[in-house]
A and B are shown apart, each in its own frame.
Chain A
Amino acid sequence: MKVRLTLSKKKILLLASILLLFLLALTLFQRIKLPVYSWNYYGKNLKFRINLRDAEKVPIYPSEIAVRKEILNSFVENITIVFKPGNETINAHYAVEVFEITYKLTLAYKLNFAYIPNFNVVNITSYENLKGTRENPIIALVHPIYSNETSVKLENHVIYIKGENAKSSVEQLRNFDLAVTKFLMAALEIKI
């Protein structure tokens, strides 16, 4: 038995419109990228303070690979984190970022190389003339009040992590978070 389906022009137009809207929604949905606040690192759900998609945009010099090789290799014996203190709020920002860096790097070392290098945290009065070595790289945390850019830069075995200055303390911390998270993404080889 054959069944004949007849559609009016109006119905055909309606169906075509629905199909078009569906395809449009699908396209838009694919372009929408949901924020990423955590990353599965060797089975561990690592959480981050900031959207990794935002941090991904932070410039890093000379390259992510160079930074990773500098900070995560089996020759490293000591990692020195230096910072220039400020008021109590600024110091609290440093504390938050130091926690983030140290916690995640410790995990990475333990899992990749089965040892943990020594971490030293030192407050300094100036970021000039810093020089690390392959065995003793330095992470220089530059708070936004001392910086005009958000970036990660490797130079003379020193990795400068800088947040751009901003008007409010909240924005300063966000910029600092972006730089620190970008550094961690490079170190832990996180690619969004």
Chain B
Amino acid sequence: MKEKLVASLMAALTALTAVYPALAVTLADFPGFLGKPVEDFLIVIGNAAHPSDVAGAADIAIALAVQSTEQVTVPGVSAAVEGKEQSVALGGSIQDETYTKTQVPLLMRETIEYEDQSALLIEEITLPDAEVKHDDELNGTVYVDLATGSQKLTYTVRFTKELNLAGSSDKALKLKLFGQEFSIVNTTNTPSIWILTGVTGSIDGTTGLTYGEYTIYSDMGAADGSWVRVKIMKGDSTVDTLYVSKTSPATSSATGLEVRLIDAWVSADNVVLRADVVVGPKGKTLKEYKEGDAFPTNDYWTFSDIDASADNKLQGITLVYNINETNQYLKAGEKAIVPNNYFEFGFKELAVKEYVTLTFEAGKTSGGIYDSTNVETKIAGELPAIVITADKPVFGGEVYKKAYIAYNGSHVAEAYYDESLGKIVGTVLNASTNDAKIDGTFDKHNFKITFGDESNVTIVNTSDTGTINLAYKLSDDGKKFQLGNKTGEAEDADVCVGSNEDGTCDVNLGTQEWKETLDYGTEILGIKEYTARDKVVMKLPADQQKAVVYVGKLGAAVEGQTYLKYTPVTAPVAKLDTELSAADKTKNLVVVGGPCVNKEAAAALGLTFPACGEASGIPENAAIIKIVEDYPASGKYTVIVAGWEAANTRTACAVVQQYATLLKDQNVKAIKVTAATTTGITPM
């Protein structure tokens, strides 16, 4: 047997976890351990090593260094909205309110003058009463479904009194829709409006207007401006000559262009001083738009209401945002498509940014349970438990980050891991008369986790009707908890949400592959992935989650920033086992190498150095990662990583390196490693 330094060093990493008595009681406690103050610890390398162990030392060093810092995010500042916001509860609908310049400053509210008429022009936006959903359509992502509701997103330009249009091109009403100017020639009571389209501009004998490959000029006309002569040029060549009157457009048979005269200023000797014209394809310089027709520059918007009581009367135009499969959903950060980006209507963000992550898994009350009222008194030994780990202190009045619901078949206990004491403290109840209840608080979110009737964990939001049921129960042998009827397998009933009138659970989700989002905003993450490991992970918002939708303009957001900071773990120093002083033996140790090559490993395991082969206690063709309590001193820990042979040690190192996927679920003090896979790890 040759224990590898590598393994030892890797063990060092694991040892880190175990090194600190108050925090690292099992291999699974490693992440929490890093975030806490710890004492100095040493990496102890046996005074005999294989060359391959040198490389292993580097691997472990990198792993430890990486773990010694964490990325801290400084939240950005949300973009300010120049307009109006609505916060909509998940499952609720946007309020279909109408906003004007009062709420959305970019909209117009101004007097319009036309042919001796005057009116107040008002722009309005009406929001859709669309639903905010979080269903499986987008795998649990919160979104606004614009296809729902009866009111669509609309944009209106209206006048406080009806305008009488002249009905001719030269007296068209200049009106901006979505910020783009249109010349409305006349209206009909169809209802419809006639709008000049094409390229508009002023020309004379030397100033031309280009349309495609052609440029048009006007050199002569009637002195009263009733008609002008237009030359269509292609380069230096005259392609066609047209005579265009104000009353009717002229069409060029040579080019297919249509030219419409809006107005003209001509000198007494018939020289055109200025002619305002519209050029476009034949029949396209004046177009009729009826309700249902698409807006000229954006097919998503159509005319929905043209307020024209009679020919050449106009009091308002309304356009509606049409929905198809390409624009139906608005996820956070997305907005509707508006011509010229004239305004924005979008799903800005989720209102609540802070979440606490809870992880439910089967485990044990390692180290036993101490009386919460007398922490020196042990009231229960190691019991099967549902271990609930939070990434923030949310239990017991926002004091504890880890809670336990333990059960031995007759009694149930509710307990917490007290980091300051390094103990699990709690209360043992009589299961026949009491249900275990763990209260949780995260900012404004109050919840309770209960366990009763010998199975099933229920998470209830105290301000919401939504419940989550986790089908945890004791295994047949009563030695451990399992999720559902089969351990290590995802089953439908493993996770269930909602409740029926008879108290039964509503929807089974245990094999759902995507996250489930509840109305309150609670998210149950990648369910099947976790239930297959008898585990459930959920994120609870700090308050009722809402979708913030807005209309107007969104300013620039201040980007969030990140920086690295050290976790308060002291930097380890590597020492040879032959170098350890008496002072060193008052510290926690990570021992690299087994009892055959490392004196400290032998001493920690209570063996006489060197203890090789079977005498080492290391399983043949395997490796171990083991936490030894009360060595090298009372209250201290030593972590041993050692393999039967070099290859086994390497494997153990790989396990440590892949802590997040292979080790962190190990709620035990020792494991046997035969392969760097989940199946290759066996609790000892």
A binding-site residues for B, Cβ under 8 Å? 42-49, 81, 83, 85, 88-89, 91-96, 98-104, 106-107, 110-111, 114, 116, 119, 121, 123, 173
Which A residues are in CB contact (< 8 Å) with B565?
Answer: 43
Query: A43-B566, A96-B57, A121-B54 in contact; A106/B62 too (CB < 8 A)?
Result: yes
- B5, B40, B61: the one within 8 Å of A102 (CB): B61
Q: Knowing that A103-B64, A107-B571, A116-B65 are A-B contacts, what are 12 other residue pairs whose CB atoms are under 8 Å apart, sorted by A's residue number?
A: A42-B566, A47-B571, A49-B575, A91-B50, A92-B53, A95-B53, A98-B57, A99-B9, A106-B61, A111-B564, A121-B57, A123-B54
Is the pair B65, A96 in contact by a Cβ cutoff of 8 Å?
A: no
Give complex CA distance A116, B66 in Å.
Answer: 9
Q: Which residues of B contact A48 (CB under 8 A)?
A: 573
B interface: dominant SS: mixed
**Contact flags (1/0) for B46-57 with A, using CB distance below 8 Å?**
111111011111
Contact across chains for B564 and A99 when beta carbons are under 8 A apart: no
Residue of B nearest to A85 (CB): B51
For the A-B complex, the count of residue pairs with Cβ-Cβ distances under 8 Å equals 122
What is the bound-complex CA distance between A93 and B62, given in angstroms? 18
Q: Can you list 25 A-B pairs, Cβ within 8 angstroms, ordered by A?
A: A45-B571, A47-B572, A49-B575, A85-B51, A88-B49, A88-B50, A91-B51, A91-B53, A93-B576, A94-B51, A95-B45, A95-B57, A98-B58, A99-B61, A99-B574, A100-B61, A100-B573, A100-B574, A102-B62, A106-B61, A107-B65, A107-B69, A121-B55, A121-B58, A123-B54
* Contact across chains for A92 and B48 when beta carbons are under 8 A apart: yes
Taking CB as reference atom, which chain B residue is nearest A93? B576
B68 touches A107 (CB 8 A): yes
How far is A111 from B68 in the complex, measured between Cα atoms in Å? 11
Residue B320 at the A interface, CB < 8 A? no
Q: Is B43 an interface residue (CB 8 A)?
A: yes
Whether B54 contacts A95 by the Cβ 8 Å rule is yes
Please determine whether A103 and B69 come into contact, CB atoms closer than 8 angstroms.
Answer: no
* Contact (Cβ within 8 A) A102 B66: no
With an 8 A cutoff between CB atoms, is B60 at the interface?
yes
Q: Which residues of A contact B658 (CB under 8 A)?
A: none
* A residues less than 8 Å from B60 (CB atoms): 99
B298 CB-CB contact with A under 8 Å: no
Please measure, in the bound complex, the distance between the C-alpha atom of A181 and the C-alpha atom of B499, giving whole angstroms.
Answer: 65
Report whether B573 and A95 are in contact in the complex, using a CB–CB cutoff of 8 Å: no
B78 contacts chain A at the CB level, 8 A cutoff? no
Q: Contact: B564 with A110, CB < 8 Å?
A: yes
Known: A99-B60, A99-B61, A102-B62. A92 touches B570 (CB 8 A): no
- In the bound complex, how far is the Cα of B169 from the Cα of A143, in angstroms? 96
List the A residue with the shortest CB-CB distance to B593: A92
For A98, A106, A173, the residue with the greatest tally of chain B CB atoms inside 10 Å of its CB is A98
Residues in B whose Cβ lies below 8 Å from that of A107: 65, 68-69, 571
Could you tell me the distance in whole angstroms from the C-beta of B583 to the nearest C-beta in chain A? 12
Contact residues in A for B43 (Cβ distance below 8 Å): 99
Listed from nearest, the 8 A-B pairs whose CB atoms lie closest are A88-B48, A106-B65, A103-B61, A102-B61, A121-B55, A91-B49, A92-B49, A99-B574
* B566 proximity list for chain A (CB < 8 A): 42-44
User: Contacts A49-B575, A91-B54, A119-B58 known; A103 to B49 CB distance under 8 Å?
Assistant: no
Contact A47 B573 (CB under 8 A): yes
Decide: B45 and A92 in contact? CB cutoff 8 A. yes
A44-B566, A88-B49 in contact; A96/B62 too (CB < 8 A)? no
**CB closest residue in chain B, given A79:** B58
Is B574 in contact with A44, judged by CB distance below 8 angstroms? no
How far, in angstroms, from A111 to B55 measured CA to CA in the complex?
A: 23
B5 partner, pick from A43, A95, A110, beta carbons under 8 A = A95
Taking CB atoms, residues of chain A closer than 8 Å to B46 are 92
| B50 cross-chain contacts in A, Cβ below 8 A | 88, 91
- Mark out the residues of chain B between 534 and 589 whose CB falls within 8 Å of any chain A CB in the assembled complex: 564-566, 570-576
Find chain A residues with CB under 8 A from B574 CB.
49, 95-96, 99-100
Q: Which residues of A are found within 8 Å of B571, using beta-carbon distances? A: 44-47, 103-104, 107
Q: How far, in whole Å, are A85 and B611 apart by their CA atoms in the complex?
A: 26
B65's closest neighbor in chain A, by CB?
Answer: A106
B564 proximity list for chain A (CB < 8 A): 110-111, 114
Asked if A98 contacts B61 (CB within 8 A), the reply is: yes
Using CB atoms, name the residue of chain B closest to A95.
B57
